[in-house]
Amino acid sequence: MTFKKKTISQVVAVALCGTFAAAAQAAPVVISNFNTSAAIADAGYFSATAPGGLGLSFMGREFVNHGTWASNYSLSVGGSLVAVADEAVGGDTSNPLGAVAIPVGTAAEVNTNLPFGAHGWTFTQTVSIPSDGHVSVMVNLTNNSKSTASDVLWGVGVDPDQGIPVGGGFGTTNEILATGVTGTAVRATSSDGYSLTLRNTTSAGADAIAAYVDTVFGSCCAPIDPAFIFATAQGVGSYGFADHSINLAFDLGDIAPGETVTFGYEYVMAVPEPETYAMLLAGLGLIGFSLRRRSA
């Protein structure tokens, strides 16, 4: 089988072609704990419509809601995309699984709002902030059809832009930190040292997990087919400084009728250590001094 990257125009068509009655769009659910906040749209991705421009924030720094930003997930069954939820489609309207988000304490629960799910699937997701800088996502995916679903894949991606608030631009240093079923992680770090790591928290439930930095077409904002992520098989290492999205893909194997598969991941935000931050500031100061000398 030949895999190819899905462009925005392709995935939009997939997301909108289902014959289902989507739930009415509600205001995003805002969750906060410690110094961490997130706005969750009905579909379950980070919202673009929350008051104050909140998407994902830590220590007062907004990490995703800048420019044409991306927060998305994809479901593939038997080699074909079944659903693509993509914030970049516009204003939180992409909701192919017909879900609705509700606040539950300091968490947000996202539940399919259709009697038998959409496209034969029921989707539930819990988004919480268990500790400072950590936004945890737990997904339950149920096959409501009368036949076994083969080769079920799930993908999730985000475009980190945490350098924007300090004039650092959209670029990040993008690295795959680890691979494997229990430790897969990919990190994006801004020029001033603020980092966002997308990492797996699944110990069972997935046969394989892969990380991916979207360098193929220099894309920051298009959902990536999880089959393409597995086919590309990027390894541990740095993938340069650029405006790229970071992604995870989960191979959930075959799911029998009525069976539910549970898997999870988390977004981990970190600020530079004081020593590192001081070195960064010193470096910027030296650059400024050099420029002043040259212009003198």
CATH code at position 75: 2.70.98.40
Within a domain: residue 265?
yes
Strand partners, 77: 80
pLDDT at 287: 41
Write out pLDDT tens, residues 37-66.
999 999 999 998 999 999 999 999 999 999
pLDDT of 1 above 60: no
Residues 233-256 have a mean pLDDT of: 97
Query: Cα–Cα distance between 7 and 210 in angstroms, integer?
Result: 20
167 or 195, which is more confident: 195
Mean pLDDT of the chain: 85
Q: How many structural domains compose the chain?
A: 1
Within a domain: residue 3?
no
For residue 181, what are the domain limits?
A: 8-295
Within a domain: residue 1?
no
pLDDT of 281 above 70: no
Within a domain: residue 2?
no
Angle at Cα 225 formed by Cα 221 and Cα 226, nearest 5°? 115
Are the C-beta atoms of 242 and 27 separated by less than 8 Å?
A: no
Sequence-ordered list of residues with C-beta below 8 angstroms from that of 20, at least 6 positions apart, any chain: 96, 98, 114, 118, 119
Write out pLDDT tens, residues 103-124.
999 999 999 876 666 678 999 9
Rounded to the nearest 5°, which phi and psi values hold at 71? Answer: -150, 120
Sequence-ordered list of residues with C-beta below 8 angstroms from that of 9, at least 6 positions apart, any chain: none
